[in-house]
Structure 1
């Protein structure tokens, strides 16, 4: 597991074949083949593309979770969620402002966001 620790700031895209835990701040797209764990003090300004995501911090962008998505009570998301309905968990207290799109169980895996979504400017 790769770790972006508290107080660390990453500017640019982050790509890993495994899992990444983010306790600091990332400005850019996070692509993790296995999983993303965003701690309660963590922040991502950009998109997250992964299999499994556990979000406890703040995201400004799109979260695409192919397999499972959990929004913990401390999560704050401004953007879009794309996940499978059977594997989406929102804990009481989680805050979400945006749109949720459900991925059908039989659908082909989405390894990337559509070009128009990832190319759109993000409000800050």
Structure 2
């Protein structure tokens, strides 16, 4: 009925287009590792690592450590969050802990109580004559 080509057409060889969902009312405790994206509507206590994107819905909650490429939060997070590219916080998001990101987008009314570090994007300031500032003076 299905050829092998049709079955694998929508998936990359590494499974990065796979969608994993943790439904509302579900609690997972421990370590989760994947290559695809995750949608969290339930609760995760522990470690979650993926090369894909993490979306935490309004009912979602993560307590622990997360490492991912991109993340969108509408729900809650507590712990250490490492997002290599873009972290987007919607108005209902509540983030606490330590956050290391590439880029950050925060909607009004989002709660962001975290120690935050942005990787990359540090540029040397130039004075009016076009010369760089002295060594060590940089801006983010």
TM-score by length of 2: 0.71
Cα separation, 2, equivalents of 1:60 and 1:88: 17
Aligned residue in 2 for 1:10: 28
Question: Which one has a bigger Cα radius of gyration?
Answer: 2
Cα separation, 1, equivalents of 2:101 and 2:38: 19
Cα separation, 1, equivalents of 2:49 and 2:85: 14
Number of residue pairs aligned between Structure 1 and Structure 2: 104
Cα separation, 1, equivalents of 2:78 and 2:38: 18
Q: Any stretches of 5+ residues in structure 2 without a counterpart?
A: 1-18, 123-140
Cα separation, 1, equivalents of 2:72 and 2:84: 12
Cα separation, 2, equivalents of 1:68 and 1:94: 16
C-alpha displacement at 1:102, in angstroms? Answer: 0.8
Cα separation, 1, equivalents of 2:31 and 2:109: 29
Aligned-pair RMSD on alpha carbons?
A: 1.2
Moved over 6 A (4+): none
C-alpha displacement at 1:47, in angstroms? Answer: 1.2
- Higher relative contact order (CA closer than 8 Å, sequence separation 6+): 1
C-alpha displacement at 1:98, in angstroms? Answer: 1.9
Q: Any stretches of 5+ residues in structure 1 without a counterpart?
A: 107-124
Q: Which one of the candidate residues 45, 52, 56 is aligned to 2:70?
A: 52
Cα separation, 2, equivalents of 1:54 and 1:28: 19
Aligned residue in 2 for 1:95: 111
Alignment of 1:12-27 (within 5 A): 12-27=30-45
TM-score by length of 1: 0.80
Deviations along 1:47-104, whole A, 9 cap, x unmatched? 11000000111111111110111011111011011112xx310111110112110101
